[in-house]
Amino acid sequence: MSKIIVLIGAPGAGKGTQARFLEERLGIPQISTGDMFREMKNADTPIAREVQTIMASGKLISDEITFQIVKDRTSRADCKGTYILDGFPRTAIQAGMLEALADEQNKEISAILIDVPLDHLEKRMTGRRSCPICGEIYNIYYKPPKNDNVCDFHTEAKLNHRADDTEEKVKIRLTTYEENTKPLLDYYEKSGRLKKVNGTDEMEAIYRELKKLV
Ligand code: AMP
């Protein structure tokens, strides 16, 4: 049976980096709600404007809007088999919505926690930068680019610093994670569907562990 692999972890735990590895190296499509919302940045519709305001505040978009984009995206042909969700579900209501979607799509859910202690996370987020062209993720503390503020592969473009990766927004996002998303660990654990990897290891080591679990 095909799976829906749910990558869970605090913001900054490395879900995006690992989801990209799994997609590039194993060909499993990764669906990132954060990326999809960021892509709405330039759209000038009422929903896009609402999404931009909420994202900039570090809070969560409504469950209904979020679920709708996940449902639409995963109904495309590339999600016929196993796919990865990065950043969804993030609330108990979303987890319930995902159960229904999994039934509908005839897939089983497998959750994997990328476990990083809270005190590591702040620097990971405030130091995060990404290439606007290829999406390569850097960190000025842990994985700096060869030259200041430009991608190793695309020197023509300055790296992006997400508006919600500032110290103030990071604090809000971590609190949101603690309150809304952390309870999901219990939910998946109790139903025997939670696996864990140590997210403080080096990136390639985390990837090797993850690969065994997907
Ligand atoms: P991320 O890139 O996963 O950290 O997501 C960035 C932002 O997008 C979050 O802080 C939320 O504002 C929004 N977002 C992403 N995924 C969700 C979700 N599942 N539910 C609600 N809001 C989300």
- pLDDT exceeds 90 at position 195: yes
pLDDT score of 41: 76
- Quote the tokens at residue 95: 């987890």
Confidence of residue 119 (pLDDT cuts 50, 70, 90): confident
Q: How far is the CA of 54 from the centre of ligand 1 (A)?
A: 9
- pLDDT exceeds 80 at position 34: yes
Superfamily of domain 3-117+181-213: P-loop containing nucleotide triphosphate hydrolases (3.40.50.300)
* Mean pLDDT along residues 177-195: 97
Q: Provide the 3-class DSSP secondary structure of residue 124.
A: helix
- Among this protein's residues, is 162 annotated catalytic? yes
Phi and psi at 112, nearest 5°, equal -125, 125
pLDDT score of 40: 87
- Among this protein's residues, is 80 annotated catalytic? no
- Choosing from 8, 55, 69, 181 the residue with most ligand 1 atoms within 8 A of its CB, the one to mutate for a pocket test is 55
* Mean pLDDT along residues 129-143: 93
Q: Does ligand 1 come within 6 angstroms of the Cβ of 116? A: no
- pLDDT exceeds 90 at position 148: yes
pLDDT score of 145: 97
Q: What percent of the chain has pLDDT over 70?
A: 100
* Mean pLDDT along residues 141-157: 95
What tens digit of pLDDT does each residue of 55-87 get?
989 999 999 999 999 999 999 999 999 999 999
Rounded-to-integer distance, Cα 59 and Cα 53, Å:
9
Q: Which of 162, 193, 196, 211 is catalytic?
A: 162
Confidence of residue 47 (pLDDT cuts 50, 70, 90): confident
pLDDT score of 2: 97
Instruction: Single out the residue of 118, 169, 140 nearest to residue 10, CA to CA.
Output: 118
Helices (H), 27-91: 33-39, 46-57, 63-74
pLDDT score of 154: 96
For residue 186, give the H/E element and its range. Answer: helix 183-190
Task: List the Cα angle 105/108/109 in 5-degree steps.
Answer: 110
- pLDDT exceeds 80 at position 42: no
Confidence of residue 144 (pLDDT cuts 50, 70, 90): very high
Q: Provide the 3-class DSSP secondary structure of residue 181.
A: helix
Rounded-to-integer distance, Cα 52 and Cα 94, Å:
20
Q: Which of 20, 124, 128, 129 is catalytic?
A: 128
Beta-strand runs (E) in 9-142 = 30-32, 83-86, 108-115, 128-130, 137-139
Q: What predicted TM-score, i.e. pTM, was given to this entire model?
A: 0.89
Rounded-to-integer distance, Cα 45 and Cα 43, Å:
6
Mean pLDDT of all residues in the chain? 95
